[in-house]
Structure formats: C-alpha cells, structure tokens
Structure 1
Amino acid sequence: MCGIVGVIGKSDAAPVILESLRRLEYRGYDSAGIATLVDGTIDRRRATGKLQSLAGELDTAPLPGSLGIGHTRWATHGAATTDNAHPHATERVAVVHNGIIENFKVLREELEGKGTRFSSETDTEVIAHLITGYLDMGKSPKDAVAATLGRLEGAFALAIIFKGEDDLMIGAREGSPLAVGYGDGEMYLGSDAFALAPMTNRVAYLDDGDWVVISRTSVQIFDAKGTPVERTVQVVPVSAALVDKGNHRHFMAKEIHEQPEVVGHVLGHYVDPAKQLLKLPEMPFDLAAIPRITIVACGTAYYAGVVAKYWFEQVARVPVDVDVASEFRYRECAMTPGGLALFISQSGETADTLAALRYCRSQDQHIASIVNVTESTIARESDHIFPTLAGPEIGVASTKAFVCQLMVLAVLAIATARARGAIDADEEQRLAAELTAMPRHLSDALHLGPLIEKLAQDELTDATDVLYLGRGASFPLALEGALKLKEISYIHAEGYPAGELKHGPIALIDDTLPVIVIAPWDRLFEKTVSNMQEVMARGGRIILLSDRKGISIAGDEATAVVELPDVDPFTAPILYAVPLQLVAYFTAVHKGTDVDQPRNLAKSVTVE
C-alpha cells in the first residue's frame, strides 16, 4: 500500500518526512517523492526505486521549508517513472494520493479540452489541475478542494499543499486510510500511526468521506456533506504503532477496510486504466495453448480457486480442476501434458500446496502461483508468479488476501478468454471496466458495517448452527462465509449449493436455524429464490444478501436483508466477500472470541 506523510512544523519538514516514509517501506513501493513550500513556492524532489535514491536527490539539492508532503508510490496509473512519481504539482498546488480515481479519463479529457497540459500518465495529476482550476476561478483553497472532491469517483486518500499558504494543509479520505497527528505547534497527516510515531502519539483517524483542514495550531474536520465533525483523538503507544490497528479494534477489521486500497494496487499492476485493457507481463507459457488448468490451494485460497473455476470455464471456455492440496498430493492423478498448474497461497509457504506443486512439476505441467509473498518458496519454485499485492495480513482469518486472490484470478480468466478468442476486445474492455470499479463498490459495501453488526447481534450471536446457500459462483462464497464464521466465532456453519438443499440439508431447517442466502441478480437468481422459499416454508430464518432488484423481488419475506451495490455477475463474488467477512467479524466480536488469533489456528500452515 502506498504511504502518505504530511508535516506542518517548526523546522525543515523534508528530513522528518523522509524518516517517516522509511517507516512505511513495509507497504511496498516503486518510487517516492517530497514537496515543500520554499518561500511560498512549491518545490519537490522525486526518484524511482528505493528511498535511498530520494535521499540522494535531497543530498544533492536539499529542500528547505517547514511545510511539506511525501509519498511512497506503488504504480497504478502509469509506469514507475520519475514523471509519474508523487507529489504531482501545478504552480499553485501539490498533491499526494493513495487509491484510484475511476473517472480520471473523463476529467482529463475535459481539462485537456480547456488547454491543460499534463506531464504524467497518472490519475493523481487530474486532482492537482482540478484544484488549480477552481483556484483560478477565485475560490479559496478550502472551497477549491471541496468542489474537487465532489467530482472524484473512486477510493482515495489525499494530502494537499498550496502556493503562498505556509500554514495550511488539506487532507481527504474515501476508502483509503488517513490519520491526523497532533503535535505542539505542529500538525501531521499520515497513512497510519506507525508513520507518525516519530512525531506524535496523539492521532485521530478520519472516517470515509471526511476531509480535514489543518494548520500548525488547529484541525477542522468535515464529513462528506461539508458538516463540521469531531473525531476522537487517541493516544497510541509507540509499541502499538509498530503494528498499528488504526481506529479499529482488531487487525481483521483493519484489513477488511483496507480492501478498496489493495484492490487498487492489483488493478494498477494488471489493468491499463486509460485503455481499460489488461497488461499482463510476458509469461513462459501460452494461455491460448493451455489444454487444461489445475488449481490447487488450501482453506480460503481453495475457495478462491473454486470461484475461478466458474470464471475460467464460463468466460474462457477452458476445463478446470480444483483440488484441496492435502488431497491432491496423494491422489497421484493423471495430468494432461502441457497443462497449467496454478497454486494459490497467501504465505507462499503452505506445506501441502508446495508438495502438490512439486508433484505437478514431475507431471509436465507449467507452474504458476498466485502469492502475496513474492520471495516465498512457492514463488521461487514457480515458472511464473502473479503477486496479489495485498500487503501484510496479520489477522489469522484471511480477508484482503482472499479478495486480492479473486481479483488476480479474474484478470487471468479474462486474459485467458481473450487469448483463446472466447471474448473480443470490446468484452475485455467491459470486464476490465467492471474490475476497475471494484474499489468504489467495496468502499460502499463497507458502509454497511453498522447494519451488519446489528444483524449479527440479533440473528447470529446466539446461534449454534448457520447454513449458507448460493448457486454458481456464489456457492464457493457460501463455503467461504461458513468457514469465516467457524474460524473466528466458533459457531458451526456449512456452505451448500442451494440446489442441493432438498438432497439432505433441508432436514435441518427449523425456526432456530439462520440461513444466509447469497443471491446477486443473475441468471440463477430465480432458482435460488425458489430454494429460499423452501427454507421459509419450514420456518427457517432467511438473511438475504442481494442487490436492489433482487431484494425488491424476494426481500419481503426474509428475516433480514443486506442490499449491496448493483454489479456485473462476473465481479459479484469479489463484492459479496465483504459482507460475509463483516458478518463473521461482528458475530465473533459480540461473542467475545479472539478475533485476530482464533484458537487452534495459525496464519501459515508450514507442516503437513
């Protein structure tokens, strides 16, 4: 995840910002930069590569000034070049930005039509020029930012400074984290408390939609409607800042809320946002020539693979086998020569998955892996790796790693379909655009937290058993939802294909059994509703997860409903993972279990 640091201080800001950026290196980055106000004028230094390159630039040409912003960038829009590195600036404004501006192309074309010249390929530069345009119209910096925020679509965190304003910095948050640090005659902005720890331990976390106007002695926070609001100032011990939970009670909650941002990193790595086309690196195998795909994984990663089976077979028209690694390695199955064996692992060290990889190597398979840790054993033993870019995941129950796995698998399914001629360029663009919208949709889903918390408390906390139902790609989501609930709340739960209900599980239905139905509006919706009605006829308590159209048709008889944004059926599994994570999380919180370290479980299973 990219890092942001802003300082309004008493002495030179650049050295302080550089040190804080070093604390954010764990997030991963490919360029960095700092801008300060020097005698009222914006000046900046930027460099590709590691922070020592930026430090070298500062040694050669120091940046004075007590007000500044800094950034470590993981390339999304545009390659990792100096021109694309942050901060982005006009003569009047400098901006650093985490996230993705979905409508940047429309905004850029509008600005270019007015004569604006761009110096980068990034979406961020659009923000700088929009603000500048409003300033040129006579608006104040505060009003110019407010007007600009109203035009941005997507997920983002921003820090902004202005020419001639040596006691002003503005920040904003929508879907990406941002915190305000309180000092003595100094104020700070940062991606998290860890970045701010050298300067202050007094931190307030912005909520989604918040924007903040800060000076050396004051902080004014506004919500999305422009109404002044208060956010709690917390004292964060240095030791806690090292593994910062932000304004969340648990790492799992923080990692759930990081999903819009990390999904943006996946998009930046695999999708060209300007052309809405995929940009996969060269691979040592030809996707068009693969006769069969074998997906092997464990736990949550296995369920990601089952979702991908639907995508590969329906969109790319290639046959797929999916297997649990601990079973696959002992089946000694016959494999089609020249097939692609695809391994999914958050840690890249899962023992059973690694053993399965080595078996596939002996069976003349191309070996590829989807991993979060690119230096891991599974990654090193693969012919090709597809990084998930989720960043560190501390909670044992996988959340953001799962969603990033789904995103990468969706990209691969689209790329395979295009290579095999199963879809044309227009359909590739359409599906890529659907993926590009996911940060916004995920952010919208996270706003359902209070509703889902009440639902979990009222309907699930006292349950002894829960049934999850889904059809098509929603079936593996039912399996994943049940696993999450089991892992952290210790409630017995099962995921079932809804069509199998009357082949056994319907015997369990009574008025004490909550049944969670995952039913986005798609070609299987009516069949899922008919299964739902079978449950209701026997007194079962239905919790329906659907979109507006689905709920308008089937929501009246449900005990509770969760309305999600309307999305294409292809991307629905990515979106619907979020409410399932929140259901498990809030149920566990109300039961008082150890959410981040549930009993008997480990983050990485490195033994058989």
Structure 2
Amino acid sequence: MCGIVAAVAQRDVAPLLIAGLKALEYRGYDSAGLAVLDGGVIRRVRAKGKVREMEALYLADPIPGGTGIAHTRWATHGVPSEANAHPHIVGRVAIVHNGIIENYARLRAEISSRGHVFTSETDTEVIAALIDARLHDGISLREAVQAVVRELEGAYAIAVISRDEPGRVVGARRGAPLLVGLGIGENFLASDAQALIQVTPRIIYLEEDDVVEITRESVHIFAIDGTLVQRAVHESELSADAVERGQYRHYMQKEIFEQPRAVADTLEARIHAHGVLPNVFGVGGDEVLATVRGLHIVACGTSYHAGLVAKYWIESHARLPVSVEVASEYRYRDVVVPPDTLFVAISQSGETADTLAALREARRRGYRGTLAVCNVPESSLVREADLKLMTRAGPEIGVASTKAFTTQLTALALLTLRLAGLNGIDADRYAALCAELMHLPRAIDDALALEPAIAELAARFVPRQHALFLGRGVHYPVALEGALKLKEISYIHAEAYPAGELKHGPLALVDESMPVVAVAPSGPLLEKLKSNLQEVRARGGELFVFADTRAGMDETPGTGALIRVDAGGDFIAPAVFTIPLQLLAYHVAVLRGTDVDQPRNLAKSVTVE
C-alpha cells in the first residue's frame, strides 16, 4: 500500500517522479504529492485524490530541481486530505513514508511536549519531526535517519531530503519494500520496480533495516549499526509494455485475458507428460517434500481462496492433511505444529504484511520447512522462505486480483502433483492429472470466449444490491472468489456459501430481488447441488448457473441464465470456472460505472497490518 518514488539527477526530476507515481497508483490513490529541492528551498505540491489531480497543480506551476521525493497514499492515520498527503515537511526536511509506526502516539506526545505543532494526523509527520530535531545536533541527514529509525516500532519504508544537503536522498526500510534504481549520472529509490522501468532496469533490493544514501554518482547502503554493506544488483525483466493497457479498456480486463499465457509460463519447464520435473521448488525441495506429512497454508484475500482449493486437491490426491488459515489470524494464536509439517505462504506481492509476519513466526515454530508461492522473485517472502515456486504472472496492476489467482492455482496444482507422486498415487491417475494440468491454458482460453454472453448477462445485476454465490466441494472456494470479485469492484454486497448450507440460514435472504450465482461442475456432488438450486427456485430466487458442459444441466423455470463452461477436467475445473466469474464481476462493474482498476478504499499490496 502507498507508493514511493525518489530521484537524484542532473535533470528536473518532477516529471520522472510523476511518471513513477502513475505506475504505482494501484498501491494507493487517496492522495498524492511531491517535494523537490529548488535551490535551497523545498517546494511541495499535494492534492487529495489521484495522481492526475496533483499533476494538474504541478503543471500549473512547475518546480525545477534535480532532487525530489514523491508519494501516492492509501490512508491509514488520518483521512484522505491535502493536509495528510505526503510529503510532510518539518523544518529542514521532507519525508515520504509507507507503513505504520506503532509507537507513534507516544512519540507524538513527546514531540508535542517540546513545542512542535503538528499540521497533520499522520504517523509520518512524527518521523520528520524526529529527523529534523536530530539535524540540530549537527549530524548528517544519513546519520539522523539512522538514529531515528532505531526509535521506531512497526513497519516503514521512507525517503527523506534535506534543504541543507541538496543532491542527496536517504532511504530506510523495515517491513515494507524499498529498492534502489541505478542510472547513469542519476539514481532512484522506489517501493516497486514498476516505478522505474522507464528510467533503469538495474535494481538493488534493500534488506530489512537497511539505510541507503543516494547521490547522482553514488549509492551507499548501511546496516542499522552504521556499517557499510553490499547488496546484489539485479536486472529487472519488466518492460514498459507489461504495464500498459494496450487495446483493453481497463487493466483488469487485460489481465483476465493474459491468463492463458501466464498459466502457460507458470507451467513451462516444470511439468511434462511423465510428471512434475525434479526440484522445481528449489534445490533440495524434493528431499523436503518427500518427508512432509501435512501442510499449513497461510494467506490473505484471494490468495487465501487459492489455498482453500489446494486443501481439497492435496487431501484428495496426495492424501496429506492440510489446514488453511488467514494470515492475520494465524500469527496471533498458539498453533499446534505436528511433526514434518510444511508451512506454505501464498502472496502475489511477497510483501503482504500479515503473510510475511506469519512466515517469520513459522520459522520459530519447528516446521519441516517453509515454501513461498509468489509472483515477485526478489520479494521478502521469497528471500526468507526455504523453498519457493514463482507464479510468473507478470505485473498485475488491477487491484482486484485475476491472473495472480489462476497462476497461484497452477503453482499449487504442481505442488499437489509433486506430493501425490511422492506419496504413491496410481501411475495412470498421476499421468492423467498431469495431462489435464498441461491442458489448462487452452481450457482458460476457451472460457474467455464466453465474454460476450457474460457481458450481456451482467446488465441484469446492475440494479441489484446483494448477491449469493454457491458452490460445493472444491468449488466452494471458487464461489468465495467470485463473490469477492463482485463486491470489490462493483460494490454489490456478495457472499458465498457451500450450497448445502443454504437451509441453515442464508435461504432466509432469498427472494425475487436476490440473484443467486451457482458453480455447477460435473461430478458426484452435482445431484446434491441440483437439490440446493431447487430450494432457491421454490423461494422465488433468480438463478444464474455456470454449468460444466458435461453436467447435463437444463434451463428450468426460475433459472435467470445458464452459461455452459467446458471445464477441461475435474482437476483443473476450479481454475477454469474462475474465468466466467471474473468476467461477470468486470462487466457488472463497468456497467455500474465504478472505478474498475482502483476500487474505493482498497489498495493492491497490503504492506501494513
């Protein structure tokens, strides 16, 4: 959440900062601002709303200067407003900050007692005031930052400039991402590599408690105790095309249609007709997996739903017990860890605060090993896990996750098959499952052809305020994900239930104004599901059924629509049925006129607790 960009260059940096913020706006869009050193003066422009609002103010009165910082905010402390927008200026320093300072109230009281009058409600202004106070002791900006971060509790990534040290930016991180971009005669800081793809592919990922000082010609990184450290330089594989919308109306639509390619990339060089290839989870991965007797899966949001699907898969095919838990709950309870249990953390960004904290807690709890399923190779989650499997989804800009989910399912299917192979699954069944998984990109491509029919169907949801989603077995998590997508971007209240739970409460909500969306794959639970749907019809509910072409479902009175989906097989069906539910949410949101890519109150990467 929130985005940081900073630059030191021989040219005016404000246009670079604004371009970087636009690339990061999916991380926060309550307000935006920048500050540039113009001579010996810090000049600032801030605005409530999106980056374009701040950019308009800048264009009306451009600010020259080669040193600057910028920020796009997702509000935590204080409402979205110009006063609470970053950068914050106190005395001779300006600062931008991602994260939450947990001891800010005590620090704020101490600073107020010394006569400082706060102009915002944020925890960030506390950091600025502390740094400015340290500078009065005659130390450098870098030394002041190092001294102050030792006082902070919580998570932060910061970038700071001082009017007394033009041509210099100091940054620091703990629990929130921050990286360095290396240019020629110019250097940068950012919270995500996507902010820098227009200026440099050369990236240094800072580690926990690093403090960095950049000038036009140098980058120096220090541990929290002040000793110089070296960090590896990486060549980013991101391209400008990867973060452009191209022919699509929204990033979400583009990312929905990128799923066949993303899934194929996730499978590439990892599976063939005879099975999952060795050590796709890292060196020594197979040795760890061979000894695993159970799994704990931890994730948040959409990633949690992927974990729920994996529970059904692994228990069915590998015959190992699996528990799945929301990361924010896991980290605060006394978890029992049976011997030889594998801890699996799932995250698109690899910086999700609760998931990352859960991984760190797991490392202290005696698991057989830890595995990260993630989309960002240099993320904290990947660096800190014992084993890892990258999802290869590429950049995902839309806040509502689409291709991240299906590639997570793909990665978890690979894990399922590897565990099944190590635990004695029948050879013919194993080969059939592998063949089915390799067919998944084609099956998703076929499901995308349903878009015109689903776009037409979406109009019937536009006036509705509530919706129910139903699924059974492994498709209950698919229903959960479908409901989440609809509520995230259309603002229609949507909930999902196992279809068998209808009569235990949710049926009370069903009437002619309540659309009920059902996922109806073929299989042993189909007849049970049909009975549940009859319960809806009997109460006057309008049914929208997504049925496997093999399911033998027919339209009957009370069925609002029947969309036939070629699931491609029982194993991959959860990933395939996800596609029409994504398309439904997308087109309902478009027709309702909401901000599809940047829904209200949400941000892409949740790096605060």
Say yes or no: TM over 0.5: yes
Partner in structure 1 of residue 395 of structure 2: 392
The yes-or-no answer on 1:411 pairing with 2:414 is yes
Query: Which deviations, in whole Å up to 9, do the C-alpha atoms of 1:413-445 show, x marking residues without a partner?
Result: 111011011x12322211111011111111111
SS of the aligned residue for 2:332 comes to helix
SS of the aligned residue for 2:476 comes to helix
Q: Which consecutive unaligned segments of at least 5 residues does structure 1 have?
A: 1-25, 27-196, 198-238
Residues 347/240 of structure 1: CA separation in 2 closer, same or farther (3 Å cut): closer
How far, CA to CA, are the matches of 1:560 and 1:278 in structure 2? Answer: 42
Q: 1:353 aligns with which of 348, 352, 355?
A: 355
SS of the aligned residue for 2:245 comes to coil
How far, CA to CA, are the matches of 2:240 and 2:276 in structure 1? Answer: 42
Partner in structure 1 of residue 172 of structure 2: none
Question: Is the deviation greater in 594-603 or in 565-574?
Answer: 565-574
Partner in structure 1 of residue 268 of structure 2: 268
Query: Which deviations, in whole Å up to 9, do the C-alpha atoms of 1:293-344 show, x marking residues without a partner?
Result: 0000000000000000000111111000100000111012121133100000
How far, CA to CA, are the matches of 1:552 and 1:591 in structure 2? Answer: 30
How far, CA to CA, are the matches of 2:444 and 2:386 in structure 1? Answer: 32
CA contact (8 A) 2:458 2:584 kept: yes
Give the residue type in structure 2 aligned to 1:260: P
How far, CA to CA, are the matches of 2:242 and 2:346 in structure 1? Answer: 29
How far, CA to CA, are the matches of 1:272 and 1:240 in structure 2? Answer: 32
Compute the displacement of 1:280 (Å).
4.0
How far, CA to CA, are the matches of 1:371 and 1:591 in structure 2? Answer: 32
Aligned length: 369
Compute the displacement of 1:240 (Å).
9.4
Q: 4+ residue stretches of structure 1 with deviation over 3 A? A: 239-243, 275-280, 282-285, 551-557
Compute the displacement of 1:242 (Å).
7.8
Compute the displacement of 1:470 (Å).
0.2
How far, CA to CA, are the matches of 2:401 and 2:527 in structure 1? Answer: 31
How far, CA to CA, are the matches of 1:327 and 1:242 in structure 2? Answer: 35
How far, CA to CA, are the matches of 2:528 and 2:489 in structure 1? Answer: 31
TM-score (norm 2): 0.59
CA contact (8 A) 1:551 1:563 kept: no
Give the residue type in structure 2 aligned to 1:302: Y
How far, CA to CA, are the matches of 2:553 and 2:506 in structure 1? Answer: 27
CA contact (8 A) 1:517 1:545 kept: yes
How far, CA to CA, are the matches of 2:266 and 2:385 in structure 1? Answer: 20
Residues 594/427 of structure 1: CA separation in 2 closer, same or farther (3 Å cut): same
CA contact (8 A) 1:294 1:340 kept: yes
How far, CA to CA, are the matches of 2:432 and 2:322 in structure 1? Answer: 24
Compute the displacement of 1:290 (Å).
1.0
CA contact (8 A) 2:276 2:418 kept: no
CA contact (8 A) 1:271 1:279 kept: no
Question: Is the deviation greater in 522-531 or in 334-343?
Answer: 334-343
Partner in structure 2 of residue 532 of structure 1: 533
How far, CA to CA, are the matches of 2:532 and 2:251 in structure 1? Answer: 36
Question: Which one has more relative contact order, counting CA pairs under 8 Å at least 6 apart?
Answer: 2
Partner in structure 1 of residue 559 of structure 2: 558
Partner in structure 1 of residue 244 of structure 2: 244
Partner in structure 2 of residue 338 of structure 1: 340
Residues 369/242 of structure 1: CA separation in 2 closer, same or farther (3 Å cut): closer
How far, CA to CA, are the matches of 1:390 and 1:258 in structure 2? Answer: 9
Give the residue type in structure 1 aligned to 2:255: E
Query: Which deviations, in whole Å up to 9, do the C-alpha atoms of 1:138-175 show, x marking residues without a partner?
Result: xxxxxxxxxxxxxxxxxxxxxxxxxxxxxxxxxxxxxx
Partner in structure 1 of residue 484 of structure 2: 483
Residues 368/240 of structure 1: CA separation in 2 closer, same or farther (3 Å cut): closer
Query: Which deviations, in whole Å up to 9, do the C-alpha atoms of 1:239-280 show, x marking residues without a partner?
Result: 99684212110000000000011111112132125x455444
Partner in structure 1 of residue 257 of structure 2: 257
CA contact (8 A) 2:454 2:580 kept: yes
CA contact (8 A) 1:544 1:561 kept: yes
How far, CA to CA, are the matches of 2:606 and 2:338 in structure 1? Answer: 29
CA contact (8 A) 2:567 2:576 kept: no
Compute the displacement of 1:568 (Å).
1.6
SS of the aligned residue for 1:550 comes to coil
Residues 278/542 of structure 1: CA separation in 2 closer, same or farther (3 Å cut): farther
How far, CA to CA, are the matches of 2:243 and 2:305 in structure 1? Answer: 29
RMSD value over aligned CA atoms? 1.9
SS of the aligned residue for 1:369 comes to strand
Q: Which consecutive unaligned segments of at least 5 residues does structure 2 have?
A: 1-22, 24-197, 199-238
CA contact (8 A) 1:371 1:386 kept: yes
- What aligned pairs does 1:353-502 form with structure 2 within 5 A after superposition? 353-365=355-367, 366-421=369-424, 423-457=425-459, 459-502=460-503
How far, CA to CA, are the matches of 2:409 and 2:361 in structure 1? Answer: 25
How far, CA to CA, are the matches of 2:264 and 2:240 in structure 1? Answer: 27
Question: Is the deviation greater in 365-374 or in 262-271?
Answer: 262-271
SS of the aligned residue for 1:359 comes to helix
State the identity %: 52
Compute the displacement of 1:530 (Å).
0.5
How far, CA to CA, are the matches of 2:240 and 2:269 in structure 1? Answer: 31
TM-score (norm 1): 0.59
Compute the displacement of 1:553 (Å).
4.5
Q: 1:294 aligns with which of 296, 305, 319?
A: 296
Partner in structure 2 of residue 522 of structure 1: 523
CA contact (8 A) 2:522 2:548 kept: yes
How far, CA to CA, are the matches of 1:503 and 1:240 in structure 2? Answer: 51
How far, CA to CA, are the matches of 1:555 and 1:523 in structure 2? Answer: 21
Residues 436/505 of structure 1: CA separation in 2 closer, same or farther (3 Å cut): same
- What aligned pairs does 1:4-19 form with structure 2 within 5 A after superposition? none
Compute the displacement of 1:288 (Å).
3.0
Partner in structure 1 of residue 599 of structure 2: 598
SS of the aligned residue for 1:559 comes to strand
Give the residue type in structure 2 aligned to 1:405: Q
The yes-or-no answer on 1:303 pairing with 2:305 is yes
Partner in structure 2 of residue 168 of structure 1: none
Residues 533/280 of structure 1: CA separation in 2 closer, same or farther (3 Å cut): farther
Compute the displacement of 1:516 (Å).
0.2
Compute the displacement of 1:561 (Å).
1.1
SS of the aligned residue for 2:296 comes to strand
Residues 467/426 of structure 1: CA separation in 2 closer, same or farther (3 Å cut): same
SS of the aligned residue for 1:469 comes to strand
Residues 242/574 of structure 1: CA separation in 2 closer, same or farther (3 Å cut): closer
Residues 439/364 of structure 1: CA separation in 2 closer, same or farther (3 Å cut): same
CA contact (8 A) 1:300 1:402 kept: yes
SS of the aligned residue for 1:593 comes to coil
Partner in structure 2 of residue 317 of structure 1: 319
Partner in structure 2 of residue 221 of structure 1: none
How far, CA to CA, are the matches of 1:283 and 1:511 in structure 2? Answer: 57
How far, CA to CA, are the matches of 2:267 and 2:294 in structure 1? Answer: 26
How far, CA to CA, are the matches of 1:468 and 1:295 in structure 2? Answer: 24
Query: Which deviations, in whole Å up to 9, do the C-alpha atoms of 1:519-542 show, x marking residues without a partner?
Result: 111111110110011001110000
